[in-house]
Structure 1
């Protein structure tokens, strides 16, 4: 009997690992493809010169601060849908309500963000950035900002099909967008096929067109596949549902603030680099893009962990919650160990994708990028741990305490240590990267400790809707 029990136990873990991989792999591919869209923009802009690359870095990082905040808000849909499926596998109405009101929330948040981004040049100047770079970045932002709303709508639909554990169509749409974005930006930046050469503004317009391409692609998916069509997501879409709208904000706002704190600490690093010199800023843009590509894998595992833990949460199944969370953490940390080795072993190979290493004018930027990647390799492991830790906690709808962890880790420790090391101790750009590593390490420890506490306690109490059947 004991042997049979141990075999069932191992079988349950193997089943969870398989389910996690089947869900995570398409999400990872989708994340890599989404990151490749921004990488494509930087590669094309980089061919215009270091100044254009630096201006694009300023604009993209200001835009991403708001984009990630919006992403966090609409990510509330994933644990809400997963938990509902755990309670009632064939639920339709509550899932439809969640998707609709998440889109309403996306529309709400976009309006003030557009107003702010329209004044991007003034914001960058107020932060002490170079006037010429700020002017170019401001023009770029006025073309790019309109990509926000279609992107958030696309992401809501992608979270919807992922929470239903059918994420592959989201990958197809995003991968198709990579090719579309490459073609659109190439034409608009350099003036191909008779189009005017718009430079940075062309890159912004191309990215906006890509946002609409993604949204309409996801619309085609949810209307074209009967598994998704049965939910009738857009029937009577205009009718308000204020209770569910409030639920989305209640769960999504702490996620948005957490992600916002994380991305803005990296954005702050960009602005601090701008205070050092242009080569440091350009090198940082390359190094952070390379680090972001590797980050897409644990991010996908975090998304899968949210769904799998969320289903266990809805079922009120502590064993499934524990298996799903620890499986996601083990996979995320294991992958980041491998990427750390790659960043140390072959940094120039990676940098050469973004910069012509044979051009003597790029030698200083390349050398700085190598030093930044050496530090990035050190925090790969803790970066994977913190993002997956946050993801599995979201599956338990535990979002407020992780928000406080992010505030302390990223801004008190990360920016504090980085600023002191860069400007007081004279480590310059490397000091900023060491500060980022310190902040990530602090958040990782706190997130995993929080998960360990929650997992040992079993289920986190959650509200069961009136009339809902217990499994």
Structure 2
């Protein structure tokens, strides 16, 4: 039976514009965040190869922890969207949800910092060179203090985006790039009267930047009348344990999903290292380009969570469907463009990192180009799985998508990557075929679940 139109259900054109107004700024903010990390690499690389390697290892652990914690607390977005859709503006429910999300952020940040502090034993366990392990530990000692401001800022970013101010996320991230570059310049090399701290100076720059971004979000919320009217810091000491548990229940599977996906790509790097140093370098270049492309459907998926969540709260199945399908078409359409670029102009893309015309890079370019051709084949799958997962989160459906992610990425995905990469002559290409297979299986299963949302009863809101 076809869902009945709600009196306020927007048409396809209106929904497309509404989705783009949220997705565009969020995708741009994601791309700018990637640029922030690139600036860190540019400054640290001037210190030497050991410092660069140490920072890469530390950031790999720190990034995985922070990203998963932001995913956990980010469950506040569909909760707020549903409340606004049901009874907008829903001042009290939104304020309570934000209060508990901020509480949860502080609690899990302490856990995250404790995990970051274990980098020393992790370096020894994985057999890293002693001098690199020591550098990574000194870097992490400062970097881990950025955990709480980053997780808190992630919650505030969800708040401004859900309340219709996604451009704030773009502008604040852009300003953060300037703060980060200036702080790196000052504290790594001792400029502008600052001490020359070397590699720990880069961690100081990250801490300053994360605190500045948190302060900018707080200022934006205080100065914007629409955002300030919710008074999210009001009665901050009052607990709302049912809402706290709602965020934890919805967010924990999202965090595990992030760990499953990020973990398989991290494991792929270790596989590629066993294949060969050249293949690992080519893998890094190709994966960075694929990661940049992924930021757009990732932003569209965030917008899908908010738009679907609005209609979920309003109990409007037709609106949910239009919001989800609009986002899926938008995200996958962009990835078709990136796939064409990877097929038609791989050397132009690689020129962002290296000089493809340099004969010394010939083997590296050939290997990276081969990986990009496989990446082009899974661009559509990557876009679909990212947006479909976001749409399902708008229905607060996170547990089954978590199992889909674990199954897809680690059984057909990593299993095939390890088998083809290490057990056949395909080497690095086999690893990438495994990654492509995992993403494609995830996309197919998530899309099937989204398509069956009515039959599965996912569109029925109980409260």
Measured after TM superposition, the shift of residue 49 of structure 1 is 5.3
Measured after TM superposition, the shift of residue 48 of structure 1 is 4.7
Residues 252 and 168 from structure 1, CA distance in 2 versus in 1: closer, same or farther, beyond 3 angstroms? same
Residue in 2 aligned with 1:73?
A: 72
Is structure 2 residue 375 aligned with structure 1 residue 376? Answer: yes
Say which is worse superposed, 35-44 or 451-460, in terms of deviation.
451-460
Residues 375 and 325 from structure 1, CA distance in 2 versus in 1: closer, same or farther, beyond 3 angstroms? same
Alpha-carbon distance in 2 for matches of 1:204, 1:361: 33
Give the aligned CA root-mean-square deviation in angstroms: 2.6
Residue in 2 aligned with 1:314?
A: 313
Give the aligned length: 459
Tell me if structure 1 keeps the 8 A contact 2:312–2:394. Answer: yes
After superposition, what is the alpha-carbon deviation per residue over 1:443-467, rounded to whole angstroms, capped at 9, x for unaligned? 1111000000005667523231xxx
Measured after TM superposition, the shift of residue 193 of structure 1 is 3.5
After superposition, what is the alpha-carbon deviation per residue over 1:198-249, rounded to whole angstroms, capped at 9, x for unaligned? 4433322222221111111100011111111111111221232222111110
After superposition, what is the alpha-carbon deviation per residue over 1:163-196, rounded to whole angstroms, capped at 9, x for unaligned? 1122111211111111211222233334433545
Residues 9 and 245 from structure 1, CA distance in 2 versus in 1: closer, same or farther, beyond 3 angstroms? closer
Residues 62 and 278 from structure 1, CA distance in 2 versus in 1: closer, same or farther, beyond 3 angstroms? farther
The 5-angstrom pairing of residues 395-434 of structure 1 reads 395-434=394-433
Tell me if structure 1 keeps the 8 A contact 2:189–2:197. Answer: yes
Residues 68 and 122 from structure 1, CA distance in 2 versus in 1: closer, same or farther, beyond 3 angstroms? same
Say which is worse superposed, 385-394 or 267-276, in terms of deviation.
267-276
Residue in 2 aligned with 1:387?
A: 386
Residues 363 and 55 from structure 1, CA distance in 2 versus in 1: closer, same or farther, beyond 3 angstroms? farther
Residue in 2 aligned with 1:3?
A: none
Say which is worse superposed, 298-307 or 42-51, in terms of deviation.
42-51
Is structure 2 residue 81 aligned with structure 1 residue 85? Answer: no
After superposition, what is the alpha-carbon deviation per residue over 1:366-391, rounded to whole angstroms, capped at 9, x for unaligned? 55433333322221111100000100
Alpha-carbon distance in 1 for matches of 2:189, 2:429: 34
Say which is worse superposed, 67-76 or 357-366, in terms of deviation.
357-366
Tell me if structure 2 keeps the 8 A contact 1:46–1:355. Answer: no
Measured after TM superposition, the shift of residue 399 of structure 1 is 0.5
Tell me if structure 2 keeps the 8 A contact 1:317–1:459. Answer: no
Say which is worse superposed, 359-368 or 279-288, in terms of deviation.
359-368
Measured after TM superposition, the shift of residue 52 of structure 1 is 4.3
Measured after TM superposition, the shift of residue 282 of structure 1 is 4.0
Residues 207 and 310 from structure 1, CA distance in 2 versus in 1: closer, same or farther, beyond 3 angstroms? same
Say which is worse superposed, 62-71 or 317-326, in terms of deviation.
62-71
Say which is worse superposed, 60-69 or 252-261, in terms of deviation.
60-69
Residues 134 and 38 from structure 1, CA distance in 2 versus in 1: closer, same or farther, beyond 3 angstroms? same
Residue in 1 aligned with 2:347?
A: 348
**TM-score, normalising length: structure 1:** 0.90
Say which is worse superposed, 338-347 or 364-373, in terms of deviation.
364-373
Residues 130 and 203 from structure 1, CA distance in 2 versus in 1: closer, same or farther, beyond 3 angstroms? same
Say which is worse superposed, 135-144 or 330-339, in terms of deviation.
135-144
**TM-score, normalising length: structure 2:** 0.91
**Partner-residue secondary structure (3-state), 2:452:** helix
Residue ranges of structure 2 left out of the alignment (5+ in a row): none
After superposition, what is the alpha-carbon deviation per residue over 1:89-133, rounded to whole angstroms, capped at 9, x for unaligned? 121011001111111111111222212211213213323445444
Is structure 2 residue 229 aligned with structure 1 residue 252? Answer: no
**Partner-residue secondary structure (3-state), 2:404:** helix
Say which is worse superposed, 215-224 or 336-345, in terms of deviation.
336-345
After superposition, what is the alpha-carbon deviation per residue over 1:420-442, rounded to whole angstroms, capped at 9, x for unaligned? 12222143333322221111111
Residue in 2 aligned with 1:268?
A: 267
Alpha-carbon distance in 1 for matches of 2:355, 2:183: 23
Alpha-carbon distance in 1 for matches of 2:219, 2:111: 29
Residue ranges of structure 1 left out of the alignment (5+ in a row): 1-5, 465-471
Alpha-carbon distance in 1 for matches of 2:367, 2:95: 49
The 5-angstrom pairing of residues 429-444 of structure 1 reads 429-444=428-443
Residues 210 and 272 from structure 1, CA distance in 2 versus in 1: closer, same or farther, beyond 3 angstroms? farther
Measured after TM superposition, the shift of residue 285 of structure 1 is 3.3
Tell me if structure 2 keeps the 8 A contact 1:58–1:271. Answer: no
Say which is worse superposed, 51-60 or 212-221, in terms of deviation.
51-60
Alpha-carbon distance in 1 for matches of 2:358, 2:146: 34
Tell me if structure 1 keeps the 8 A contact 2:9–2:319. Answer: no
Residue in 2 aligned with 1:338?
A: 337
Alpha-carbon distance in 1 for matches of 2:436, 2:421: 13
**Partner-residue secondary structure (3-state), 1:14:** helix
**Partner-residue secondary structure (3-state), 2:164:** coil
Residue in 1 aligned with 2:300?
A: 301
Residues 290 and 190 from structure 1, CA distance in 2 versus in 1: closer, same or farther, beyond 3 angstroms? farther
Residues 196 and 363 from structure 1, CA distance in 2 versus in 1: closer, same or farther, beyond 3 angstroms? farther
Tell me if structure 1 keeps the 8 A contact 2:315–2:461. Answer: no
Residue in 2 aligned with 1:230?
A: 229
Alpha-carbon distance in 2 for matches of 1:268, 1:235: 44
Alpha-carbon distance in 1 for matches of 2:286, 2:112: 27
Residues 276 and 59 from structure 1, CA distance in 2 versus in 1: closer, same or farther, beyond 3 angstroms? farther
Say which is worse superposed, 12-21 or 38-47, in terms of deviation.
38-47
Say which is worse superposed, 339-348 or 293-302, in terms of deviation.
339-348
Measured after TM superposition, the shift of residue 311 of structure 1 is 0.8
Alpha-carbon distance in 2 for matches of 1:48, 1:302: 38
Alpha-carbon distance in 1 for matches of 2:461, 2:431: 41
Residues 188 and 276 from structure 1, CA distance in 2 versus in 1: closer, same or farther, beyond 3 angstroms? farther
Residue in 1 aligned with 2:63?
A: 64
Tell me if structure 1 keeps the 8 A contact 2:332–2:384. Answer: yes
